[in-house]
Amino acid sequence: MAILMTGDNRVLVHGITGRYASVQVPEMLRAGTRIVAGVSVGQGGSRVHDVPVFDTAAEAVAATGADASVVYVPAAGVRDAIFEHVDAGIRTIMVAAEFVPLADSLQALAHARRHGAWVIGPNSLGLISPGVGLLGSIAAGFCSPGRVGLISRSGTLTLATTRALTQAGIGQSTAVHVGGDVVCGRNPSEYLTAFAADPDTEVIAYCGEIGGTKEYDLIEHLGSVAKPVAALIVGRSAPPERRMGHAGALAGAARETAQAKREALATAGAHLADDPVHLTGVVRALLQ
């Protein structure tokens, strides 16, 4: 079982002729992803990695039945790409670009929500359901099938944690990088709810960080989740008022610090960890 992705998904890659996609598409194919179409304006009728290329998402969906997508276009093109995919009927969209203009994100993500579409990102490594498929660039070799659902605000922590879990013999049902921009398509609490409803996810692991209030939104939903949640918040040594890594990681108030979030999560019933290796130990104990 996996959230947001099954072996039946038919995936479209927007920007498939670009340099970044040229590296990631073969990796997604090796991970089992059914990539049925690419989109690249002016390249319609060609093939890349033996995948047919179309000029628009609407043409690609009509010809192939694509129902999920990966967007590899520059930040300035993300708004139009999301609108195009949603209007074509795609309901799971992964966006890699970071620093998408805020107004563009607000408009496109609101449009997606109105139509019931789920956007992973922007500024995301994507989502992987080991043994099922990959949307994005999470290292499939770091992952293995299992019973732990991983939600992460950090791309680096997504990689480090999946690798630590796998090396410890603990597999994942799905691992997802929510995205690093200030505004993302879905919040950690929504992924928490999705994992809570997945019958094959037994433990949920959360990797958070300083900055923003996403952890507090997640805390509000913890009480309705029967499954145990292990939580790691990084940035305990971060200098005040300094952005760490990406747009969303900036503690602008006391409640946005790592210590404040750790205390709030512990009070809400989450099982705290100090680093990815410690998180692996916590998860193992919860599985047992």
What pLDDT is recorded for position 113?
98
Residues in the chain, pLDDT under 50: 247-250
> Which residues are 70's β-sheet partners?
13, 94
How far lies 283's CA from each of 100, 105, 175, 262, 277, in Å?
Answer: 34, 34, 14, 17, 10
Q: Is 246 a catalytic residue?
A: yes
pLDDT given at position 212: 86
Q: Are 244 and 212 in contact (CB under 8 A)?
A: no
Tell me where in the chain the CATH 3.40.50.720 domain(s) lie.
Answer: 11-120
Catalytic site residue from 49, 177, 246, 278:
246
Q: What is the pLDDT of residue 245?
A: 54
CATH architecture of the region 11-120: 3-Layer(aba) Sandwich (3.40)
Considering the chain, tell me which residue range(s) the CATH 3.40.50.261 domain(s) occupy. Answer: 138-287
Residues in the chain: 288
Specify the pLDDT at position 235.
79
62-86, pLDDT tens digit by residue? 999 999 999 999 999 999 999 999 9
74-121 pLDDT, tens digit per residue, is: 999 999 999 999 999 999 999 999 999 999 999 999 999 999 999 999
Tell me if the domain spanning 138-287 has CATH number 3.30.470.10.
no
